[in-house]
């Protein structure tokens, strides 16, 4: 059939462009290391930023508690039917208290959150303004929504203000959407500036803290906590699937917004709820990370040192966070560099378009608090010799 011939040609084109992807054969994770295709490597591609996913003592303690509890392995239905276990209420209450906000709502994933919030809130009478480097899930949410959208230049808030001025009085409501810590560049949004713009122009501000939660802020609430603007952001989303080492996501907001999303957000309404066993684990990791300020500080210091060393070697290394990307530009260079690092004992995955812009291929080094400088000290020289 022509259909199968066409998609085979497209796959062949991806291979030619060094964009072809396969699932790695990951057989074990243990502490700092990961076993890939039978090879034990230092894990530098995980989003388990605080190492909670490998905390054996906490896992064993939860396992014992699980056996003694009535936590089910499945919810068997949506939350609006029979899936709203009391642990949901406890988790959302705890989140609202931590952020000192009126309400919280838990979702099945960050993707569910981002493809559901904007379509629930926006219509063709509204406008969405999005940072150009926002995550694919935010882009998909904008595409699903009926509202028109425009993308302002990455972290260019003068450009955002130009768009706000141009759109003033032309739309019922304007929404500004940004990540706090950008997942591929590791750089940070200026949340104070965004809050000032949203207040000046009457916009609603939605901030995705997926890569900020657990790493930034005294209590690990993200960059919004560091910037002191938790109360001024209309919707703050976070994930349990990264630093909090669980599954699912959440948003904190006003009670009115929560009530509206509960009634209109399709990716919330029409999906089976999370299993109680997951909700209980999320409660535990959320509580545990509150006391990990030393780990957060050590992680950011480690990232700063690695970034400084790499820049000193002449590499383009953007960002200010625990995500340390080394820009190669060409796809084949990123793939070759990943192979060289793997042969030296490091698991660093290449990132290529469309995940990043054209000619923006890179190695994305994802650091975690269990790591020490001695674990990664060889990396700058290894990368340097690959360009020699």
pLDDT digits (tens, 9 = 90+) for 140-190: 999 999 999 999 999 999 999 999 999 999 999 999 999 999 999 999 999
Q: What is the CATH architecture of 17-50+293-386?
A: Alpha-Beta Complex (3.90)
Whole-angstrom Cα distance, residue 209 to residue 231?
14
The CATH class of 62-289 is: alpha beta
- Is the bond preceding residue 191 a cis peptide, omega within 30 degrees? no
Each residue of 20-34: b (16+ CB within 10 Å) or e?
eeeeeeeeeeeebbb
Average of per-residue pLDDT across 326-348: 92
Q: Residue 102's pLDDT band (boundaries 50, 70, 90)?
A: very high
Average of per-residue pLDDT across 357-366: 92
| Token pair recorded at residue 334 | 């990123």
Please give the pLDDT value at position 277.
93
pLDDT of 326 above 80:
yes
Please give the pLDDT value at position 388.
58
Q: Residue 385's pLDDT band (boundaries 50, 70, 90)?
A: confident
Average pLDDT over all residues of the chain:
94
Query: Domain limits of the chain?
Result: 17-50+293-386, 62-289
Please give the pLDDT value at position 55.
87
Please give the pLDDT value at position 72.
78
């Amino acid at each position: 059939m022509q259909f199968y011939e066409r998609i085979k040609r497209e796959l062949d084109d991806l291979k030619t462009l060094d964009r072809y992807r396969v699932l790695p054969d990951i057989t074990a994770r243990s502490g700092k290391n990961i076993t890939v295709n039978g090879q034990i490597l230092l894990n530098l591609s995980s989003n388990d930023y605080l190492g909670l996913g490998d905390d054996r003592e906490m896992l064993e303690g939860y396992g014992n508690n699980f056996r003694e509890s009535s936590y089910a392995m499945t919810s068997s239905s949506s939350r609006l039917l029979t899936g709203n276990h009391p642990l949901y209420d406890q988790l959302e209450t705890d989140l609202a208290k931590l952020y000192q906000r009126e309400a919280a709502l838990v979702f099945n994933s960050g993707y569910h959150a981002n493809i559901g919030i904007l379509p629930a809130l926006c219509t063709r009478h509204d406008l969405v303004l999005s940072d150009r480097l926002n995550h694919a899930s935010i882009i998909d949410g904008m595409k699903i929504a009926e509202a028109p959208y425009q993308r302002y230049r990455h972290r260019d808030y003068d450009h955002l203000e130009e768009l706000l001025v141009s759109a003033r009085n032309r739309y019922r409501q304007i929404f500004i959407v940004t990540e706090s810590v950008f997942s591929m560049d590791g750089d940070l949004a200026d949340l104070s500036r965004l809050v000032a713009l949203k207040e000046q122009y009457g916009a609603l501000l939605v901030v995705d803290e997926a890569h900020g939660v657990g790493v930034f802020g005294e209590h690990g609430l993200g960059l919004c906590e560091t910037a002191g603007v938790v109360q001024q952001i209309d919707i703050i989303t976070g994930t349990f699937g990264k630093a909090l080492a669980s599954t699912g996501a959440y948003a904190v907001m006003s009670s009115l917004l929560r009530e509206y999303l509960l009634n209109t957000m399709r990716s919330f309404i029409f999906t089976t709820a999370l299993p109680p066993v997951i909700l209980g684990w999320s409660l535990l990791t959320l509580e545990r990370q509150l006391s990990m300020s030393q780990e957060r500080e050590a992680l950011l210091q480690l990232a700063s040192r690695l970034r400084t060393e790499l820049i000193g070697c002449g590499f383009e290394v953007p960002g200010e966070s625990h995500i340390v990307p080394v820009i190669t530009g060409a796809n084949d260079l990123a793939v070759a560099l990943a192979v060289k690092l793997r042969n030296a004992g490091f698991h660093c995955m290449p990132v290529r378009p469309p995940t990043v812009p054209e000619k923006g291929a890179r190695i994305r080094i994802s650091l975690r608090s269990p790591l020490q400088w001695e674990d990664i000290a060889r990396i700058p020289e290894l990368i340097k010799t690959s360009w020699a």
